[in-house]
A and B are shown apart, each in its own frame.
Chain A
């Protein structure tokens, strides 16, 4: 008897795997065979469910029960109670942070209710290592339809009509990009998938490749047909081992069934895909640098034009698209451009995947229609700020973007609106910050990243960003001057205008936007040597609580820089300008009168 009556879906995304979901799968299988249920209940490893903050995730079908934070010790209870007796293990259900109530199914969870999944349509639903499961959800139908029933021009037109724009950050219309390559003369052309995801805190592309690799492969083949390319290359960073493994399995399976290789769908079209590993440099997300890296050269950008669509990989016409862009292609081919363009805003169609991170309750991967407001993402889907703290800002676009403050929380998100408020869409990293985050420090963090990742080819980026970083370091140490703020702005604008590639042109953005919205924090750091968020350690000074001090002089005796004044039996005081924050007074005080910053 091999009728299966239940599927136990265990998340196999990197987040959940790092909290032992692989062991969960083994344990579930062992336990099922010990109760004699191994044949009727399947354990399935899926891609990312998106709810990474609550991992490991286990979902049970057909009961549609969603368990969160499942530990190895919970396996016995799930099998004995849920599987054998049909009783839901309530303590493992997700609890909504605001209402404090347990929710059983995803369709009732705020985290999923407002999402609309196109790129992530199969993530958490199929086993990414089984091509049959992808096919069951209409997989490779779009490729068949494209090859057998559509001309290349029809494909580029449908994408143009749909209004699909590059999801890597730039937002260039995908149909137009494909059209340029298809019109470029040349017998040999290439299509490259940019999976060099480098924003700190972003993992959209990784999750798509881990959870639904075929959706990208199929779209690349369609892109190959539309642009006239017979070879595809996935450029992915070596630090994504799980995604690489699943990608290779998927390519192998697609070849076996003839979706890659010679004469696909007996249409006469040949297409194959290879995988190229990158060493993980941020600049290689820039398409010209990426192409050089694929060619085996240094990952450095070159100026455009010539655009890759004219002269790219090996000097041949090349299309470079981001993972998420590809993941949107097949649904558009199957459902049509009208369906896609009905979602979103005037200028930005469809959905966008964001990696929600930072001080937000529901950390994870969310896909929302363009035009959703930041408030909806942070408060409805994200469940609000951790610990009920106050929201301060959200950083979008990673090191190339900027901060968005409370004032703009109700802005509907699309490519243009984010640019207008001084940030950018970027690839989809979204880091939420609360009142305990120092904006000067955040700007410093991103600049540290950019100066580290600068390839060094052009002077403005190589030296300019470094100088900006040094100024910020001075300010966070309390050694800054008001003049420095002017210098920062001057440098920022120079670097923006004179850098060779996107990395340098956008690197000053975090500084410019934090200076625009939080100028007073910069001034406080410089003039008062004060960090209101309490993040800049060098500015934190000890103080004495006058109500508790009895004037024992113990603190003054141990202070190595003699900055504590006060006579015996009188209240003591610390001179904050002299204090070196060593903490000796704190340890010496027996009356808890020294306040630690």
Chain B
């Protein structure tokens, strides 16, 4: 394949950019999804949650999300836990996130900007 115009190069660049989009230093405009994956989280099924989030992110082709595994978030009664950090907004923490709820987070919260009220553990939580 030969690139014969700036337009073609641009297309190739957009395609290639997705491959390297994770490598940005600093927070930028990324939405951060934190999945609690300490021993308790993993035991409660956080791995399934993580897989579901990844799958849904890929299906909906969202590229401004950073999916991060973190240690214990401290809400052991409601594992698996997912925390959503959107730039300029208060972080939201969801509890008991199974496969179905994980997909709901992507579709409702991330795409439609609707909070899933009954799954929220704590709404306003100040980061240290």
A390: CB under 8 A from chain B?
no
Chain B residues with CB below 8 A from A40, complex form:
54
CB distance from A268 to the nearest CB of B (A): 12
Which of the candidate stretches B3-11, B87-95, B97-105, B115-123 sits at the interface with the other chain?
A: B3-11
Size category, B interface: 35 or more
Instruction: Decide: A84 and B9 in contact? CB cutoff 8 A.
Output: no
> When each residue 66-83 of chain A gets 1 if its CB lies under 8 Å from chain B and 0 otherwise, what string results?
000000000000000001
Beta-carbon nearest neighbor of A86 in chain B:
B69
Cα distance A398–B37 when bound, in Å?
52
Chain B residues with CB below 8 A from A6, complex form:
22
Instruction: Decide: A133 and B25 in contact? CB cutoff 8 A.
Output: no
Instruction: Decide: A84 and B2 in contact? CB cutoff 8 A.
Output: no
Cα distance A61–B54 when bound, in Å?
16
Chain A residues with CB below 8 A from B68, complex form:
62-63, 86
Beta-carbon nearest neighbor of B36 in chain A:
A86
> When each residue 255-269 of chain A gets 1 if its CB lies under 8 Å from chain B and 0 otherwise, what string results?
011110000011000
A107: CB under 8 A from chain B?
yes
Partner of A144, one of B6, B16, B17: B6
Instruction: Decide: B51 and A136 in contact? CB cutoff 8 A.
Output: no
Instruction: Decide: A133 and B37 in contact? CB cutoff 8 A.
Output: no
Chain A residues with CB below 8 A from B30, complex form:
62
Cα distance A132–B30 when bound, in Å?
23
Main secondary structure of the interface of B (DSSP, over half): mixed
B127: CB under 8 A from chain A?
no
Cα distance A314–B6 when bound, in Å?
35
Instruction: Decide: B16 and A136 in contact? CB cutoff 8 A.
Output: yes
A87: CB under 8 A from chain B?
yes
Chain B residues with CB below 8 A from A125, complex form:
20, 23
Instruction: Decide: A133 and B20 in contact? CB cutoff 8 A.
Output: yes
A568: CB under 8 A from chain B?
no
* CB-based A-B contact count at 8 angstroms: 104
Instruction: Decide: B69 and A3 in contact? CB cutoff 8 A.
Output: no
B110: CB under 8 A from chain A?
no
Cα distance A71–B99 when bound, in Å?
37
Chain B residues with CB below 8 A from A9, complex form:
23
CB distance from A17 to the nearest CB of B (A): 21
Cα distance A83–B55 when bound, in Å?
18
Interface centre among B9, B37, B54, B68 (most CB of A within 10 A): B9
Chain B residues with CB below 8 A from A259, complex form:
3
Cα distance A313–B58 when bound, in Å?
53
B26: CB under 8 A from chain A?
yes
A135: CB under 8 A from chain B?
yes
Chain A residues with CB below 8 A from B74, complex form:
none
Partner of A266, one of B5, B37, B55: B5
Beta-carbon nearest neighbor of B35 in chain A:
A86
Cα distance A516–B23 when bound, in Å?
49
Cα distance A40–B68 when bound, in Å?
12
Chain A residues with CB below 8 A from B23, complex form:
7, 9, 61-62, 125
Extra contacts, 7 of them, besides A40-B54, A125-B20 (Cβ < 8 A), are: A62-B66, A84-B37, A85-B38, A132-B19, A136-B17, A136-B20, A148-B5
* 15 A-B interface contacts by CB (under 8 A): A3-B54, A3-B58, A5-B22, A62-B30, A83-B69, A84-B42, A86-B35, A86-B69, A132-B19, A136-B20, A138-B13, A141-B9, A258-B3, A258-B4, A259-B3
8 A-B pairs closest in CB distance: A258-B2, A86-B69, A136-B16, A3-B58, A132-B16, A86-B70, A266-B4, A5-B67
